[in-house]
Structure 1
Amino acid sequence: MSSNPDTAVEVREVTHTYGSGSAAVTALGPVDLRVPPGAFLVIVGASGCGKTTLLRLIAGFEKPTAGTVSAAGRPPVPGRNAGLVFQQPRLLPWKTVGGNVGLALRYAGVPRPERSRRVSALLDRVGLPHMAHRRTWQLSGGQQQRVAIARALAVDNPLLLLDEPFAALDALTRERLQEDLRQVSAESGRTCVFVTHSVDEAVFLGSRVIVLTHRPGRVALDLDVDLPRTGVEPDELRGSPEYAALRATIGHAVRAAASPENERAPS
């Protein structure tokens, strides 16, 4: 597979099936997708539409049944081509906050004298200054997810994959972390692929949103989100007519795509 510097992620004619024979279930596809560097792509759709399957294929945790997936022009390797943030923080409880972030730096080959400075800078970036010595169980759920994001950013790669990282949080904490992630992604310039059920979250975070159909998941809508990503207050953005119009368009597409009538036999 040839490298394309203008493509951070490429999904080409991909289908993915679980099981075999009469028990086989096609979860995804066919899907074609190209994501340019620096984009914030949000994948939205109803439960069971293949959102997480697509993310796992991009991460390299699974291989497609048919078609090809590449990250920066190469087959993805789990833990190497992308930082990962899951629904649960998955922090190591026997390590401090700084220890969790520092472990990622260690595996990335960052020299020990440099790690402390990098840990402090990463925790500052996600809004947790002076928290390196705290225990993870002393943190709120929102703070734990901030640590998980810092850990994902610790590895110097251009891709960040997030699988509904804020789904278990209360509404206020979720909004605050959305705002933080939006700012972090703008500052870092990393390509992000984010999975969610929430139409509002998709509009707020994404520079581009795709909606997947009912199983097998196919792209029902692929929409660029033309909203300012810097220089505007979150409440002002959420209250704008443009935001409301995008939310209505994407919401309608999600409801239409969720219908079982969209389920088709795999090609």
Structure 2
Amino acid sequence: MSTERHQKGSQQWIEFSKLQKFSSLKHATFLKPSDFGDYANAGKEFEEQTHFCNQLLGSKELVFTKQVHSNAIYHVTPSSRLHLPEADAIITKERHVALGIRHADCQACILFDPVDKALAVIHCGWKGNVLNIYQSTIARLKKEFGSNPKNLIAVISPSLGPQASEFKNFKEEFPEDLWEFKNQSDHFNLWALAKKQLLDCGLLEDNIELAELCTLSAPKDFHSYRRNKTLCRHATIACLQ
């Protein structure tokens, strides 16, 4: 784990060391008190946060989707601008267009191809792990942009940690081939599962960075649906420069 914390006014966010070295990408995972939960009914506060994000990341616009725990992927092109399309991953080669994932407990992943200058952001809860949205997104990057998995840099946001990932009905929710990631009677290590899925796609271990910060266990910094059924959400956002 190697994240760096930043603050400007009331806004707090973290950045990942593996991405900070690239001038062709800007990124941030926003912490409390920021709340990106009600994007569909955005008000003044949300507009102010969006303005701050655009200034911070050098973006002209900020793209979100309606996340539905699927493996659907939205491709942002110069001509594609849908309002909240249903998708849990977004890909692009467009510069100065910020891609955002809203999350609380789920994993938000940034995939960056520094060679072919391509970008993906991914929302992955346990259903995304079961569907292997990481594999689907990497396959799409290869198809659309010719990305080589060995060149991809992957970072994963704070999310539900191994000691907090309880699934009482895991036999119905997880296929048996994923039970190797069960580290207690009904707890799963979703961090290890995500890393394994990325490695299986051909990413290099040195190119993968997990925050390894548990959202449920740190109420001062993180929203957590499991902790208090909140509708508040963080945002992990990335933008090609």
Q: Same fold (TM over 0.5)?
A: no
User: What TM-score do you get using the length of structure 1 for normalisation?
Assistant: 0.27
Q: Which has the larger radius of gyration?
A: 1
User: What TM-score do you get using the length of structure 2 for normalisation?
Assistant: 0.29
Greater helix share, structure number: 1
